[in-house]
Amino acid sequence: MMFTAERVHSFIAMITLRVVLPLFVLLMLVSCSNKYDEIKFQRAKVVNKSDTINIAVIWDKKVKDFLMVEGITQAADEINQKGGVLGRKIKIKVFYSENDADEQRLAKKVAKNSAFAAVIGHRTSTNAIPASITYEYYGLLYVSPSSSNDNLTNHGFEYTFRTLLSDRYVSDEIAVFMKSQGHKQIAVVDDRTVYGKGLADGVMESLSDIGLKTMVRRHYSPGKKDFKLLCAELARHDFDALFIGGMLPKAGEFIRELRQMGIKQRVYGGAAIDSGDLAKIAGESANGTVVPTSFNAELDNPVTLEFVKNFKKRYGKAPDTRGALGYDSLNILVEAMKRSNSADPSVVASNMRFIKDWQGVTGYFTYNLKGDLEGKSSYFKYLNHNRFVFFGDPEMDDDFQPDP
C-alpha cells in the first residue's frame, strides 16, 4: 500500500485521538504515586512564595497575526496598573513554537518549571490535547483560548479549562443557523485534523438531529496543494450549502478553488477561519463565507467597549477574536485567584469550576465541573469585501445574498 501524504496525515490524526485514552489511563496510574503529589506540593510552595505570579503563554509562531498574545499582554498590564492580584504583579513569559513537536517540547519545559502558576495557549486541538496531559501530570493550571475539540475536557482532568465553546455546542449552533438560512441539503468537507474532523463530525450529527441531510462527506489533507479533483467530485452532488471543518491557510485555498471551479453554494466554516487572513488568502472568492465567533467588538456594553478602545489605542488596530479570548483567559484566571486567595493551581482550579456569570469581553462565563463553558452563545458573521459583518447589522444585512 502506498503511503501518500494524504494517508499519512489521516493516520497521524487518527493516532492522535487514539493515544489520548491510553495516556490518560497511564496518567491516572501515575497520579496515585507519591511523586505526583510531591510535584504538586512543590509547585504550590514555589508559586505562593514567589514575588510575582508567573503565567506562561505558548503560541504558534506562524500565526503571529492572530492577536492572542497582545490580548493577554494588555490584560496583564491593566491588572498590574491596578495593583496586581494578591498583592503581587502578573509576569507573562511568551514561548513561540516552530512546529507541533516544538509545542510539546515547550509544554514539558513550562510544566517542569515550578515557578509557573498557569499556562495559556496552544492554537490547535492537535497540540492542546496532548499538552493538557503534561500539565495535568505536573499540576499546572491550563486555560485554552483556542482548542474547541471535545476531547480536551472529556478526561475529567483537574487543571484543564477553556474560554471558548466546545465543538459539541458550536456544532448545534452551526446546524441550527444553516437551517434558519433555508438550507436543507449540505455537503461536508474536513481537513483530517483533530479539530477539523471533530467539528465536521459534530456538524453532521447536529444536521441529522434537526432534519437536514448531508448529501456528501469528503476530506482533504493539511498538506494538499490542489483541490480540483475534490471540487469536481463535489460538483456531482446536489447540495445547497457547504460546511468546511478546516484551518487556514488550506481552508482559504480550498474556498478560492471552489469558486474557480464554478461551485457557488454558500460556504460555512468553523471558528478556525474567523480571521482577516481568510480574505487575504481567498480574495473575493471568500465573499459570503459564514463563520461562528466568540467575540463581537460591536456589542454595546461597557466592558467590551472599554476593551476595544484600549486595544486600538495600544496597538493601532481593532482586536480579533483571539485577542479577546486571550484577554478573557488571563482575567478569569485572576478572578479565580482572587476567589481562592491563593495562586496554588489546585486551589485556583477548584474555585474556577464554580465561577458563575462572570462578565468578560466575550460574554458571560459559567463553568461546569469538566472545565467547559455553559450558557454562552456564538455570534454569526459573513465576509463582505474583506471585512466581516455580523448578522443583525441593519446597515449591512441587505448585502447578504443567498449565493455569492
CATH of residue 281? 3.40.50.2300
Cβ-based neighbour number of residue 171 at 10 Å: 28
- The arithmetic mean of pLDDT across residues 372-394, rounded, is 88
d(CA 382, CA 274): 9
156 and 31 within one domain: yes
236 assigned to some structural domain:
yes
199 and 215 both lie in a single domain: yes
Q: Are strands 89-97 and 363-365 parallel, antiparallel or unpaired?
A: unpaired
Q: Please state, as a whole number, how many other Cβ atoms lie within 10 Å of the Cβ of residue 323.
A: 29
pLDDT band at 23 (very low <50, low <70, confident <90, very high): low
On whether residue 374 sits in a domain, the answer given is: no
**What amino acid occupies position 126?**
T
Q: Which three cell numbers stand for residue 299?
A: 456589542
User: Could you tell me if residue 404 is inside a domain?
Assistant: no
Q: How many whole angstroms separate alpha carbon 361 and alpha carbon 332?
A: 11
Type of residue numbered 362: T
Whether residues 250 and 393 fall in one domain = yes
User: What are the contacts of 390-395 at 24+ separation with CB within 8 A?
Assistant: 390/296, 390/298, 393/298
Residue 6: pLDDT over 70: no
Encode pLDDT of 337-361 as tens digits. 999 999 999 999 999 999 999 999 9
Cα–Cα nearest to 7, from 211, 157, 221, 255:
221
- 139 with 21, same domain: the answer is yes
Asked whether residue 252 is domain-assigned, the answer is: yes
- Helix ranges, 19-146 (H): 20-31, 34-49, 68-81, 100-111, 125-137
State mean pLDDT over 382-386. Answer: 90
184 shares its domain with 331: no
Bridge partners for 390 per DSSP:
381
C-beta atoms surrounding 8 within 10 Å? 12
Do residues 137 and 17 share a domain?
Answer: yes
Whether residue 155 is predicted with pLDDT greater than 90 in this model: the reply is no
Instruction: Please determine, for residue 331, whether its predicted confidence score (pLDDT) is greater than 90.
Output: yes
- Could you tell me if 29 and 159 lie in one domain? yes
CA distance 312 to 284: 27
Domain assignment of residue 331, yes or no: yes
DSSP letter assigned to residue 278: H
Does residue 17 fall inside a structural domain? yes
The packing angle between helices 5-18 and 125-137, to 10°, is: 30
Confidence at residue 14, expressed as pLDDT on a 0 to 100 scale? 46
Percent of the chain past pLDDT 70, that is, above it, reads 88
Element (H, E) at 359: strand 358-360
Number of domains in the chain: 2
CA–CA gap between residue 215 and residue 212 (Å, rounded): 9
Examine the domain organization and report whether 177 and 140 are in the same domain. no
Cell 471558528 maps to which residue?
Answer: 271
Q: Look at residue 8 in the predicted model and tell me its pLDDT.
A: 42
Q: For residue 52, report the phi and psi dihedrals to the nearest 5 degrees.
A: -125, 160
Q: Using one digit for the tens of pLDDT, what is the confidence trace for 66-122?
A: 899 999 999 999 999 999 999 999 999 999 998 888 999 999 999 999 999 999 999
Residue 4 pLDDT > 70? no
224 domain-assigned: yes
Q: Which helix (H) or strand (E) holds 175?
A: helix 167-180
| Whether residue 140 sits in one domain with residue 203 | no
Are 266 and 390 in a shared domain?
yes
Task: Please say whether the beta carbons of 135 and 117 come within 8 A.
Answer: no
Q: Is residue 372 part of a domain?
A: no
pLDDT tens digits for range 28-41: 545 555 666 788 88
- Domain extent for 244: 168-293+379-399
d(CA 169, CA 342): 32
Are the C-beta atoms of residues 293 and 264 closer than 8 Å to each other? no
Q: Are strands 241-245 and 185-190 parallel, antiparallel or unpaired?
A: parallel
Give the Cα separation of 246 and 164 in Å (integer). 17
- 141 and 258 housed in the same domain: no
Q: Residue 264: pLDDT above 90?
A: yes
Residues 86 and 186 in one domain: no
Residue 330's pLDDT is 98
> Phi-psi category of 52—alpha, beta or left, where left has phi over 0 and alpha has psi -120 to 50?
beta
CA distance 46 to 362: 32
Q: How many CB atoms lie within 10 A of CB 358?
A: 17
